Each structure stands twice: as structure tokens, then as C-alpha cells.
């Protein structure tokens, strides 16, 4: 293990260095100048530090204080070597971060014993740190695997619902991708954009309880059928309620709010403006845009530029103007998603 010795007296330094170097498994870096020694600690992590108390350019207490500021040296054992018997000197050294003391003149047997004990302590620290790193990696791996499974279930469930609704499954992928692009265009953090992307496919999960006759009707719905169709919102909210993960909680907010309107004329709660959850406002733009661009039994697909203009016309009434502005900022990428033959894969 690497040991740093700082002692301004050349003879004392050579004596200490000779004793320590004869101990098995150790190597020494010795410095007369405490400032040079501090510079060395910035380039290398030593396992034990021996420092003299009385030095002309910097005393041992100050040296320890400056050493302990470095994150890598907060727990490295430090031995103060002193000829002082003053109790206050020792208290000051302990306050600065000294681990142990050695009195001058140095007793080689005592020196070796203290070094052995402190190096054993250091090895235990390193072993514990390695164990903590291993546990952190294992927890990270387990969490990642759980997240991946959760994401896979969401995509498969959403695709199954899309097929039942008469689609090809591409609608949910496009809505999720457009929602993520809008979130990024609004400057949301990467993790928040990722959660919205993964939650968006469940926006219509409540349609699982809607009768096939209504879901698959080739023409427009009458008022009674429309009332039944709108129940997919509270149903979806109940399906996703009480989620324990950020992803499911976000999906629940989207399922509840993506049919609200900026002007308050939406459903089910008649929310308006920023009272509508941000995730719902984002998915509302993505969902309506893709619906306009998608052929259904009751309507042809709109040309993509017509759908774009429709989104723009409804900024401030149906849609959050900030979401529409972000939609426009990311338009070249969004437009590329709708190129003929383009398949948007779930990530």
C-alpha cells in the first residue's frame, strides 16, 4: 500500500522512510515540503499519511485540514508526528482530522504497530467501498431489468389494444415519439421526456372496456355511443390508479387528461390552461395530429401539412400554445416520421 510521509527534517524523513519501506507490502513517497506533498495528493491517492506537526511553510494541522478537503482523502488514515505534549495541540489535530499520533523520538516498534493497524483499517475501508460499489451495480442492474420488463409490458399491452381498435399498432409508436419530441422541444429534462414517451402508449388504455360495436363502427358515433366512448377516460384512470412507479403515475395523468382542452371545453373534468397536467397537454397534440394523419373507416387520412396547419389553428383553444410551438420547433423530425413506408419502432 502507498504511504505518504511529510517531514521537513531530512534526517528524520530518511529514518521514517527506511523503517516503513522495510514493512511488507508498502511503498513510500517522502516529501520535505508540505506544499509539494499536497500537490502529490492531487495526482495520487495514498493509503496512509504520516505528517510532522512542526514545519516552517505549513504546520501539520493546516496540512491535514487542506488534505481533508479533497473528497478522496476524507477517510484516509492520517498520523500526526509531534514532539509536543500540549493537550491543545492534539485537540487541534483531532479537530483538523488526524486519526492517530506518534511522539518523537519515534519508537520503530510502535511505528510499525500503528502503521499495521491503520493499514488494516484502510484495507477494510477499501473492501467496504468495493462492496458498496458492487451492491450499487447490482441494484442498478436489477432496477434496469425491472424497468425494461415494465416498458415491454406497456408496449405489448398498448399494441394489443391498438389492434383491437382497428389500427396496425403504429399509432401508439408515433404518438409516443411525437410526444417525446414535443417534450424535448419544450426543454424538459431527458428523464421527464423519456417517462412521457413510455407513458404515452397507455393514453387510451380504457378502450379495453369499450364494446367492439362502438370501437369498430365504420361511421361517426351518435350521442349515446359517444357518451360510452368517453367512458374510456375514467376507466383508463382506474386501471392505472395507485401506480407505484413514476411511469405508471404519469400514464394515469395522461389517460385522465389528454382529452381536456386549453380553453376548458374538453372532458372529463373541464380543466383549462395549466390546470391540465403538462403530460396530458403534450399527448393531446401528438394524439390529435396522428389521428388526423391516419386513415380510419369513417374518414380518410389528412395530408400531413393540412394536419400541421390544423394543430396550429387550434393553438390557444384546443391546445397549449407552448406545446404547439414545441411541435413546430421539432417539425422536420416529426414530418420524417410520416414518410411513406416509414415504420416507427418502439424503443
CATH for 95? 3.40.50.2300
79, containing H or E segment: strand 78-82
Q: With a cut of 70, say whether residue 164 has pLDDT above it.
A: no
Q: With a cut of 90, say whether residue 172 has pLDDT above it.
A: no
Residues 194 and 264 in one domain: yes
Q: With a cut of 60, say whether residue 187 has pLDDT above it.
A: yes
Residues 190 and 240 in one domain: yes
Give the number of other CB atoms < 10 A from CB of residue 95.
Answer: 11
Residues 179 and 312 in one domain: yes
Residue from 314, 264, 266, 271 nearest 289 by CA: 314
Residue at 343 is within a domain: no
CB of 30 closer than 8 Å to CB of 5:
yes
Confidence tier at 324 by pLDDT (50, 70, 90): very high
Residue-range definition of the domain harbouring residue 292: 165-337
Phi, psi of 232 (to 5 degrees): -65, -20
Q: With a cut of 50, say whether residue 102 has pLDDT above it.
A: yes
Residues 201 and 322 in one domain: yes
Residues 125 and 179 in one domain: no
Domain boundary among 113, 134, 155: 134
3, containing H or E segment: strand 2-6
For 71, 184, 186, 204, the CA distances from 190, given in Å and listed in that order, are 29, 7, 11, 24
Residues 193 and 319 in one domain: yes
Q: If you average pLDDT over residues 90-104, what whole number do you get?
A: 84
HSE value, Cβ hemisphere, 13 Å, CA-based, for 237 = 13
Q: Whole-prediction pTM value? A: 0.60
Rg (CA), the chain: 34
Fill in the DSSP letter of residue 264. S
Instruction: Please state whether beta strands 27-31 and 2-6 pair in parallel, antiparallel, or not at all (unpaired).
Output: parallel
Domain CATH code at residue 188:
1.10.3210.10
Per the structure, the count of domains in the chain is 2
217-269 confidence digits (pLDDT tens): 888 888 899 999 999 999 999 988 887 788 889 999 999 999 999 999 999 99
- How far apart (Å, rounded) are the C-alpha atoms in residues 161 and 24? 69
- How far apart (Å, rounded) are the C-alpha atoms in residues 233 and 269? 10
pLDDT at 168: 47
Residue at 301 is within a domain: yes
Instruction: Give the chain's mean pLDDT.
Output: 87
pLDDT at 169: 55
Confidence tier at 214 by pLDDT (50, 70, 90): confident
Residues 99 and 240 in one domain: no
pLDDT at 347: 45
Residue at 150 is within a domain: no
Between 306 and 85, the higher pLDDT residue: 306
Confidence tier at 67 by pLDDT (50, 70, 90): very high
CB of 197 closer than 8 Å to CB of 176:
yes
Confidence tier at 138 by pLDDT (50, 70, 90): confident
- Return the C-alpha cell found at 50: 504520516
Residues 68 and 199 in one domain: no
Fill in the DSSP letter of residue 5. E
- How far apart (Å, rounded) are the C-alpha atoms in residues 50 and 42? 17
Long-range contacts of 20-23, Cβ-Cβ distance < 8 Å, separation of 24 or more? 20/50, 20/111, 20/115, 23/112, 23/115, 23/116
Residues 118 and 197 in one domain: no
Q: What is the three-class DSSP state of 319?
A: strand
Residue at 152 is within a domain: no
Residue at 170 is within a domain: yes
Residue at 172 is within a domain: yes
Q: If you average pLDDT over residues 312-330, what whole number do you get?
A: 98
Residue at 139 is within a domain: no
Residues 129 and 177 in one domain: no
Residue from 224, 200, 226, 223 nearest 215 by CA: 226
Confidence tier at 343 by pLDDT (50, 70, 90): very low
Residue at 156 is within a domain: no
- How far apart (Å, rounded) are the C-alpha atoms in residues 255 and 165? 16
pLDDT at 64: 92
Residues 127 and 85 in one domain: yes
Q: Of 56-65, 111-120, 214-223, which range is least confident?
A: 214-223
Between 121 and 193, the higher pLDDT residue: 193
CB of 334 closer than 8 Å to CB of 160:
no
Residues 8 and 114 in one domain: yes
CB of 277 closer than 8 Å to CB of 254:
yes
Amino acid at each position: 500500500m502507498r504511504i505518504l510521509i511529510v517531514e521537513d527534517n531530512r534526517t528524520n524523513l530518511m529514518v521514517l522512510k527506511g523503517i516503513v519501506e522495510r514493512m511488507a507490502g508498502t511503498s513510500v513517497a517522502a516529501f520535505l515540503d508540505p506544499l509539494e506533498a499536497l500537490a502529490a495528493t492531487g495526482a495520487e491517492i495514498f493509503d496512509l499519511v504520516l505528517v510532522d506537526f512542526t514545519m516552517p511553510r505549513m504546520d501539520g494541522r493546516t496540512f491535514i485540514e487542506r488534505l481533508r478537503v479533497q473528497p478522496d482523502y476524507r477517510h484516509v488514515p492520517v498520523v500526526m508526528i509531534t514532539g509536543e505534549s500540549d493537550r491543545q495541540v492534539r485537540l487541534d489535530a483531532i479537530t483538523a482530522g488526524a486519526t492517530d499520533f506518534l511522539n518523537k523520538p519515534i519508537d520503530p516498534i510502535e511505528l510499525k504497530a500503528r502503521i499495521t493497524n491503520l493499514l488494516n483499517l484502510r484495507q477494510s475501508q477499501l473492501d467496504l467501498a468495493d462492496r458498496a460499489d458492487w451492491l450499487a451495480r447490482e441494484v442498478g442492474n436489477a432496477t434496469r431489468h425491472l424497468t425494461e420488463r415494465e416498458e415491454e409490458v406497456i408496449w405489448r399491452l398498448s399494441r394489443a389494444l391498438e389492434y383491437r381498435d382497428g389500427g396496425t399498432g403504429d399509432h401508439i409508436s408515433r404518438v409516443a415519439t411525437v410526444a417525446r419530441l414535443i417534450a424535448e422541444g419544450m426543454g424538459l429534462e431527458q428523464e421527464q421526456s423519456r417517462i412521457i414517451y413510455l407513458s404515452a402508449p397507455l393514453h387510451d388504455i380504457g378502450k379495453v372496456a369499450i364494446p367492439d360495436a362502438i370501437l369498430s363502427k365504420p361511421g361517426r358515433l351518435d350521442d349515446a355511443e359517444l357518451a360510452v366512448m368517453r367512458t374510456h377516460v375514467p376507466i383508463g384512470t382506474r386501471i392505472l390508479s395507485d401506480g407505484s412507479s413514476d411511469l405508471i403515475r404519469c400514464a394515469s395523468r395522461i389517460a385522465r387528461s389528454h382529452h381536456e382542452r386549453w380553453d376548458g371545453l374538453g372532458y372529463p373534468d373541464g380543466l383549462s390552461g395549466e390546470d391540465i397536467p403538462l403530460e396530458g397537454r403534450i399527448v393531446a397534440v401528438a394524439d390529435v395530429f396522428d389521428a388526423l394523419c391516419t386513415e380510419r373507416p369513417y374518414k380518410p387520412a389528412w395530408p400531413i401539412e393540412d394536419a400541421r396547419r390544423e394543430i396550429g389553428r387550434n393553438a390557444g383553444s384546443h391546445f397549449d400554445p407552448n406545446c404547439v410551438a414545441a411541435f413546430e420547433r421539432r417539425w422536420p423530425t416529426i414530418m420524417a416520421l410520416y414518410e411513406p413506408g416509414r415504420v416507427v419502432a418502439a424503443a
